[in-house]
Structure 1
Amino acid sequence: MTNETADARPIKNKSYKNCMALNKVFKGGVAKSRTTKNKGVKIKNQPFVSKTLYNKNKKNDRDKDGIACER
């Protein structure tokens, strides 16, 4: 999983309208923590890890596994 970087800090507080918008910036979605496990099928891209960004976008976590908009 990708950790937060200086480049990502300005957008970590953004609430995205839907998964399409979030995945344009974070191809693998956003995970609540490094230890979060995906409940669904194997994902193609690693999620970006940010508790703050996840909390802003948890409405997009349909399966409630701690990863919003995983691909």
Structure 2
Amino acid sequence: MKKLSFALISLMIALSFTVSAAPMPADAAGTKAKTYKNCTEINKVYAGGIARSSKVKNKGGKTKYKPFVSQALYDANKKSDRDKDLIACER
């Protein structure tokens, strides 16, 4: 019984360090999302563009890369979404 409780406590401690050491996403950290000048700049960092949600579908043709999902980043660069499919600068 002591071994089981020791193992359980050790696991809880290890998980608490893992959760507390995990970096916060930009959306939750309260930092302002970066605004890019055009799609060329976006595609240098995010090859597949920026999607507002993981559930959105590309209305255009085939794409080569999967888009990065971030609501705040998409909202900051909404002007670059020419076809209004909630994916900015998809390729």
AA aligned to 2:46 is F
Which gives a bigger RCO, structure 1 or 2 (Cα 8 Å, sep 6+)? 1
**Which residue of 1 is the match for residue 62 of structure 2?**
42
1:13 corresponding residue in structure 2: 33
Give the number of aligned pairs.
66
TM-score normalised to the size of structure 2? 0.66
Alpha-carbon RMSD across the aligned residues, in angstroms, is: 2.1
The alpha-carbon distance between structure 1 residues 12 and 42, as it changes in their structure 2 partners (threshold 3 A), is farther
Query: What is the percent sequence identity of the aligned residues?
Result: 59
| 1:25 equivalenced with 2:45 (yes/no) | yes
TM superposition outliers: structure 1 runs of 4+ over 6 Å? none
In structure 1, runs of 5+ residues without a counterpart are 1-5
TM-score, normalised by the number of residues in structure 1: 0.84
Q: CA deviation at 1:21?
A: 0.3
Gaps of 5+ in 2: 1-22
